[in-house]
Amino acid sequence: MKSSKIRRPSSFLAEILTIILFVLFLFPFFLVLINSAKTSFEVTQYPLAWPKKWETIVDNIIKIWTSESVCYPSSLLSSAIITAVSLILINVFSAMAGWALVRTKTKVSSFIFFIFVASMVIPFQIVMFPLLSWFRTVTVATGIRLLRTYQGIILSYVGFGAPLSIFMFHGFIKSIPLELEEAATIDGCHRHQIFFRIIFPILKPIQATVLVLNGIWIWNDYLLPLLVLGKGNDVMTVPLAVSNFAGAFVKQWDLILTAILMAMIPVIVFFLFAQKYIVKGMVAGAIK
Amino acid sequence: MTKKMESALVFWVFLLPVLVAFIMVMVIPFILGSYYAFTNWTSSARVDSVLRFVGFENFINSLKDPSFLYSFGITFLYTILNMIVINIVAFVLALLVTGDLKFKNVYRVGFFLPNLIGGIILGYIWQFIFNNALPSLGSIISAFDFLSDPANLMLSKPNTAIAAMIIVGTWQYAGYIMMIYVAAIENIPQELIEASRMDGATPWIRLKSITIPLCAQAFTVTMFLTLVNSFKQFDVNVSLTSGGPSTMLMGQPIFGTELLALNIYNTAFISNKLSEAQARAFIFFLILAIISIIQVNVNKKKEIEL
């Protein structure tokens, strides 16, 4: 008790050091903000100066909002659709699969689980080129378009996100007592009803972790959308849009930084609301 | 319908959605990709076109290519340095934000924030800092005069450009790794710390004989996490340096900061050697598989010791 009232000089020094590091860590974001409120000339001449006219930020935001190469409104919408739909599917399907794998004790079941776990080692690099040619082949054979479409990229995210998510659900479901399900069976519940009415609601904490881990990955992902959606497509994610813009308008830092600012705002706002879950989820995900 | 049949049916129906997606995007491309590494596969080819088996030709050609060898070396260097720097910074941050501070949570959130933004965006921010903000700092403060000399731009020379990538990598990951350390430090029983205070242990001794040993489990987690993440780095590499600046190796001009993931990508899309890119990806996969096997064994050993 005493130590929290009377502060030792060492903790005062620690506070100062932390504040310096804190400012240093956030300074890049601050630079993005002040330089979004400058003209192209001001940015290159005085990147560290306080903006002369904050109104410039509005002009820059309007320029990015209406820019043909960023397509900010539609990129934001596409990113939101891809992330939301992929998350819902990963969450429900992986929970179902995790439960089926825990509650069915056969050789096939353990083999499938082993394959899922082993596949977590596989880097995206070894599957990315064949994935593209395989998607093209599927389209030729069935007429279902997978490249440059929502269904293709969402299918990819479900497939790539499933192993880790199943692994996490599997670990959690193992700890749920079987008696709970047996009681429901006696009451006349079918197997699938047991899952959706009893098990799925119990999984809430682990669902939060699965949603956070996959959500941050999918929202920020660059390489998979670059390959599956491609450049110059109607369906474009925010990271893809920013990199397109930065590539096309080299050195137009006033606009590039405004685009970056606008790409960061949704994430930061979301984080401030769901901060507790995000930090918990990411730490839990790492330790598992 | 018997009970047994019903459970078998439910098993497969519940697995079906993920299995379809998983087989479509992981299993089939992985099998195809491992096979293509040993063929003359080209970008125009589809799965059904005729492929010629060429044995280890793609692997041999890759190992003869200076750009791949360089990329290999630079990736190892980057990975090791990045791992060390991130973990030191993260551990120091964790010690600070678990200490007796006024706004602990504010600091934690601040350090964690870069991790939420995609690597591609972080890279562009730092490209601006290294190319514009730092030189400008040099012209404002005369002590940092050397910064404004164009020859001293960090991204203009391979060595300093790698250092720049480590700075960005640390900024990106340290907050995340810090959170894992924070969880470990907060799990240390309070009695232990009180007891050591009673015995008159200095903060340094407390750190050495209580905090660090009791965070051993967390150290293994974070070491492997940063190892694998650094080894796979792609986004920051693309947006910060795009592999540049160029340098020379074995009489050939090559990219000075091209990490393996980017080298694989460029082999396919710039050099148009798809089967060779596939062979490189196969080597990339083998290294990651070996790291994972080591990790599993280390964790098993740790569990036995506990």
pLDDT digits (tens, 9 = 90+) for A267-278: 998 888 888 888
In angstroms, what separates the C-alpha of B159 from chain A's closest C-alpha?
A: 22
pLDDT value of residue B222: 93
Most A CBs within 10 Å: which of B9, B19, B22, B288, as the mutation test of the A interface? B22
pLDDT cut 70: percent of chain A above it: 96
Q: With CB atoms and an 8 Å threshold, state whether B285 touches A4.
A: no
Domains of chain B: 66-305 (1.10.3720.10)
Note whether B161 and B241 are within 8 A (CB).
yes
In angstroms, what separates the C-alpha of A223 from chain B's closest C-alpha?
A: 8
Instruction: Tell me which chain A residues have a C-beta less than 8 angstroms from the C-beta of B203.
Output: 10
Residues A96-105 pLDDT 10s: 999 999 999 9
pLDDT value of residue B49: 63
pLDDT value of residue A2: 41
CATH number for region A69-248: 1.10.3720.10
pLDDT value of residue A8: 66
| pLDDT of A238 higher than 80 | yes
Note whether A122 and A197 are within 8 A (CB).
no
A265 touches chain B (CB under 8 A): no
What is d(CA A9, CA A19) in angstroms, rounded to the nearest whole number? 15
More confident of the two residues B1 and A92 = A92
Query: Which residues in B102-114 are b (16+ Cβ under 10 Å) and which e?
Result: eeeeebbbbbbbb
In angstroms, what separates the C-alpha of B56 from chain A's closest C-alpha?
A: 16
- Break chain A down into helix, strand, coil percent, rounded to 5: 80, 0, 20
A28 touches chain B (CB under 8 A): yes
pLDDT value of residue A210: 93
pLDDT value of residue B300: 79
- Alpha-carbon dihedral sign for residues B49, B53, B59, B64: negative
pLDDT value of residue A4: 45
pLDDT value of residue A101: 96
What is d(CA B230, CA B165) in angstroms, rounded to the nearest whole number? 10
The arithmetic mean of pLDDT across residues A119-126, rounded, is 95
Residues A141-173 pLDDT 10s: 999 999 999 999 999 999 999 999 999 999 999
| pLDDT of A7 higher than 70 | no
Closest CA to A193 of B17, B14, B20: B14
pLDDT value of residue A6: 55
Q: Helix or strand or coil: residue A177?
A: coil
Q: With CB atoms and an 8 Å threshold, state whether B232 touches A123.
A: yes
Q: What is the mean pLDDT of each run of 10 residues along chain B (306 residues)?
A: 80 96 97 94 65 91 93 95 96 92 89 94 95 88 79 88 96 94 91 85 86 88 93 95 83 88 94 92 96 88 68
Q: Which of B47, B137, B285 sits opposite A48 (nearest CB)?
A: B137
Output the pTM of the full model.
Answer: 0.92
Instruction: Tell me which chain A residues have a C-beta less than 8 angstroms from the C-beta of B133.
Output: 31, 47-48
The structural domains of chain A, with segments of one domain joined by +, span 2-65, 69-248
CB atoms within 10 A of CB A222: 22
pLDDT value of residue B48: 57
- Work out the mean pLDDT of chain A and round it to a whole number: 90
